[in-house]
Structure 1
């Protein structure tokens, strides 16, 4: 009887440890390969956030979004661009060399949030589409 209890306890411990391992070390998201959950414009997001910021935050938080707009600033040091003066997008690696101020772009990235102080949306893991 003791052997059965020890065997069952061992199986439960191994199964629990395996579950915890796979939960903690799951694969990282590859935003560049994901399809966009939402295709929006910066002005559309501004309208949604001004109407109901908590609902909009829950809608977009940690989702992959696709946005088209004009590059209004480039920050080489932080590997980021500003689109339509209201969205700051950081790239995982170095900035693409082909981008320039005033260029129209279509980008995709993971939505991080809205900065009330700067009145700016933030996305990361950005890639340029097209």
Structure 2
């Protein structure tokens, strides 16, 4: 009887260790291959946050989204595109053929609003057609 309790305890411990290992070392997301949860303009994203920030965070945070808007700044060194002066999109690949004043679509993971810089931030972005 004591051996069965020890074996059950070892089994539970191994099951717990396996679950923790899978949780800690789970594979990374590939945002570029994910289907976007939302397609929205940079202006509409800002308006949604101005209306109800808590609701907007629940809706968009950590979601794959496509944002369209006018390019107002490009940081080629850091691979960052600024849309409408409010959305900062950090791209995975070097930025090519992105010109100031053009309207583009950027797909990426929305990571939230930065109070300090007053901008909406995305990472793992790619420019789409």
TM-score, with length taken from structure 1: 0.91
Residue 82 (structure 1) aligns with: 82
Distance 2:76 2:95 in 1: 10
Task: Please show how residues 32-111 of structure 1 align to structure 2 within 5 Å.
Answer: 32-93=32-93, 95-111=94-110
Consecutive unaligned residues in structure 1, runs of 5 or more:
none
Q: CA deviation at 1:96?
A: 2.6
Residue 122 (structure 1) aligns with: 121
* Matched-pair contact (CA < 8 Å) for 2:39–2:66: yes
* Matched-pair contact (CA < 8 Å) for 2:76–2:95: no
Query: 3-state DSSP class of the match of 2:32?
Result: coil
Q: CA deviation at 1:43?
A: 1.1
Q: CA deviation at 1:115?
A: 2.2
Answer yes or no: is 1:9 the counterpart of 2:9.
yes
- Cα deviation code 1:72-123 (max 9, x no counterpart): 1111232101011111100123x23222222221110111111234331110
* Structure 1 outlier segments of 4+, above 6 Å: none
TM-score, with length taken from structure 2: 0.92
* Matched-pair contact (CA < 8 Å) for 2:71–2:83: yes
**What's the RMSD between the two structures over aligned residues?**
1.3
Distance 1:92 1:117 in 2: 24
Consecutive unaligned residues in structure 2, runs of 5 or more:
none
